[in-house]
Homo-oligomer: A and B are copies of this chain.
């Protein structure tokens, strides 16, 4: 059975020069360790050690063949989203990233789909860039779970959502610079492990509460890491919806209505919870995701999805991904 991995990341082999070195202290650059290994530097600090799986099509396809993965959706490593630069600099990085992704997709269009990035710190600029992404064959965009601390339910993003809906581009929300990180200075390793799912869920709830899926019923929004902590939050929000008359009318339908129209990746690491997510919480709305090629990746996606022992197996393997990415069926 076809298996699609919607959550995989790329890094280009090199970055453009810092356009504003006086102000952009977090502009990335690449330090090659050897022919196949490199460090992404943020300023003068190593941010992550990576290897050629991040940029080399042939190596990715070898791994996909080994793991029997039919297709990967390619999105940038989230630290490259570049919301913290001036919009014009963010746009320069976005175009560089999108060019890299488009090149990889064009090298093997049956094996890759593209999720580009846009400078969401300037929602109008981000919306305007979506047309180019659509013309270049992207399936959608990856966005952060917050934009410099602003949740995605903020009204400033409405025009961006409207344009993504109009252009039929999927939005894949990835955890980024999460809430709670400031409380974890004694345990920095908890930031990706524990705080990522919190940020994703908070932003998902803010989208529901703000009425984004209500105003944009055809917009496809998918969340990384199984929506993070979205399951318990949605049920609690539902109680709030009941006792506040739909938050004073802001939400016409109960939270589960919207939660079951969102998409989620399968990156939850535990078969019983995956079964709950895809079977009870959001039937048919969960697609495969691995976090390839990073250390925390789900290395056995096919086995993991099978282990959930759910009637939604076909949807998990490829059905939900095809709907999310708007791929031709079959």
Copies in the complex: 2
Alpha-carbon separation in the docked complex, A197 to B150 (Å): 20
Stretch with Cβ within 8 A of B (4 or more), from A87-95, A102-110, A183-191: A183-191
Q: Report if A232-B273 is in contact (Cβ < 8 Å); known contacts: A153-B186, A198-B201, A205-B190.
A: yes
Between A210, A231, A296, the greatest number of chain B beta carbons within 10 A of the residue's beta carbon is seen for A231
Residue A33, interface by CB 8 Å: no
Looking at chain A, what size class is its interface with the partner chain?
35 or more
Alpha-carbon separation in the docked complex, A155 to B225 (Å): 30
- A residues sitting closer than 8 Å to B (CB atoms) are 146, 149-151, 153-155, 179-180, 182-184, 186-187, 189-190, 192-198, 201-202, 205-206, 209-210, 225-226, 228-229, 231-233, 235-240, 243-244, 247, 268-270, 272-273, 276, 280-281, 295-296
Given contacts A189-B209, A190-B206, 20 further A-B contacts (CB under 8 A): A180-B198, A183-B202, A183-B206, A184-B202, A190-B209, A193-B236, A193-B240, A194-B233, A194-B237, A196-B236, A198-B198, A198-B202, A201-B229, A235-B269, A236-B268, A238-B269, A239-B296, A273-B276, A273-B281, A276-B276
| The 5 A-B residue pairs with the shortest CB-CB distance in the complex, in nearest-first order | A229-B229, A193-B240, A235-B270, A194-B205, A198-B198
